[in-house]
Amino acid sequence: MRRSRIALAAGFCLSFFLGTLLNLLCVPGFDHLHQQHRFRDGATPAPQWPATGSPADLLRQLRARYQEVIRYREHRAALPVSGRLRKPLERRLMDLAQRSASSHEQHRVTKSGSEPAAPEPTFLSPQGAGLLDLSLRAPSLGCRDIANRSDVRYLGSGYTKAVYKLVLNRSLSVALKSVDFGGHDIQNCVQQYRDLQDCYRLASYKIVKEMILLQRLQHPNILQLYGYCYQDSNDISNTLTTITELGSPLEMIQLLQSSWEDRFRICLSLVRLLHYLAHSPLGSLTLLDFRPRQFVIVDGELKVTDLDDASMEGTPCSSNADCFMEFPARNFTLQCSVEGKCQNMNEKRNLYNAYRFFFTYLLPHSAPLSLKPLLDSIVNATGELRWGIDETVAQFEKVLYMYRNGLYLSNMTHTPKAEYKQVVDVSIAEEDYRCWPSYHHNGCLLSVYNINEAIDICESHSQCQAFVWTNETTWTGRQLVFFKAGSINFVPDHGKITYLKSTG
């Protein structure tokens, strides 16, 4: 029994290793070295099982996906993009690219090594003829920036895509997204239709759709598209890799251990994003695959990274019974409009998912006491869908205004129990104690609005004998303060102020 368990575990580890290696061999930059390991002499591996689907059915799916891409590209006018990029980031991208928009058209290299005159940003139609222009603006990065790189790191895979990390010029980390040849999407399709080329094309339309949405939807909480690359890979022409902003995975356990201020920022980022999606240039958009793993964190802000399952389609109806939304915990029935569409269904679906995945866990816990009634009303109203996104974002902005300006302290009368002596340009080494939630794992580092709040916190902690007013602030402009259990180990520290508790 023990040997069988060991053999099973070893088999699992081996399959995981091989799957990871397979993804690494398929990333652009590795293909020129390794594609012969998977497809020798240009031969496409034929599955050993009989096909269960007809070519006509696969062609029908290709046409449907292609028409969806066209619809998302041409529906309404795109927003102006002037000023979209922050100037420092824009300069870094320009330094990396070092080329003009006209030279970008020459990056696609065919198998023969020739450089065609046709521009790169195109994609094949299902029939293999007629090219769809995907470029809504000149990209900052392209094939030249990611080709022949050996420092690409595999990050993970989903149902359709594999994601890799690449550091450009030692200064800018980017994410590379491409179709995962070992993923469920490709494998299930090949098993059913025995046509790797068309199965790749079917899966890649998801990346094409996401790429178009990343260009059309411009918002601080949507991942930025830096560019893309077409190249012939694995005996398939025009394989697509997108180059995007890189974020950190959203880890809910870590978020629950972070400060309330940071958790509120995540929820505020999300509700601002949902407000934009409800009023986007494409109309109201819903995220059909709404899960924490679809988001990343960039510089403390939440950003959506996967848009291939976003939908702008409204739900047709003839009565309210057709506007039924089902969730694991409860269900809702919305109103059917006179136009025969379920009213605000995309918006309400997003809002309830935000409640059940984010608000209910991140908003109320360890919040300032005077803000808890307002936060509870936000959680309850979104959980019951009594508010729309406009009212929800207004209430979030109200909480931010109160917190940033110290209005939650207006009813607090502060009478210090002790006197505090001020020492300038000095801090205290060590002598830390832990509190929760803290910005520092081994100490008590909290944000405060003013000195009175810092004194109130120190007097509420039995361990606190002093606190250090740092020269650092949080994203709201609040001061970070280190609370200390002693006041013996003084060290010079320019710009910091130490307050020593004196009870005598």
Give SS3 for 152: coil
Whole-angstrom distance, CA of residue 212 vs CA of residue 225:
9
Cα–Cα distance list, 482 to 264, 352, 498 (Å): 21, 38, 9
Residue 419, number of CB atoms within 10 A of its CB: 11
Question: In one letter, which amino acid is 347?
Answer: E
Comparing CA positions, the residue from 316, 167, 357, 353 lying closest to residue 246 is: 167
Whole-angstrom distance, CA of residue 266 vs CA of residue 30:
36
Whole-angstrom distance, CA of residue 178 vs CA of residue 23:
10
Q: Tokens standing for 173?
A: 């980390």
User: What is the strand order of the sheet 248-249 is part of?
Assistant: 248-249, 295-298, 301-304
Whole-angstrom distance, CA of residue 286 vs CA of residue 307:
10
Residues comprising the chain, all counted = 504
C-alpha count within 13 angstroms, C-beta hemisphere, residue 52: 7
Catalytic site residues?
289
∠ Cα 187 188 193 (to 5°): 100
Dmax over Cα atoms in the chain, in whole Å?
Answer: 89
Q: Tokens standing for 444?
A: 């008590």
Q: Tokens standing for 253?
A: 């356990």
- Contact between 107 and 142 (Cβ < 8 Å): yes
Number of H helices, E strands in the chain: 14, 19
β-pairing, 131-133 vs 122-124, is antiparallel
Spell out a b/e string for 118-143, using b for 16 or more CB atoms within 10 Å of the CB, else e. ebbbbbbbbeeeeeeebbbeebbbbb
Question: In one letter, which amino acid is 354?
Answer: A
Burial of 325 (0-12, 13-18, 19+ CB in 10 A): middle
- Contact between 321 and 332 (Cβ < 8 Å): no
Whole-angstrom distance, CA of residue 378 vs CA of residue 366:
16
Whole-angstrom distance, CA of residue 440 vs CA of residue 483:
11
Peptide bond into 437 cis (omega under 30): yes
Whole-angstrom distance, CA of residue 97 vs CA of residue 140:
6
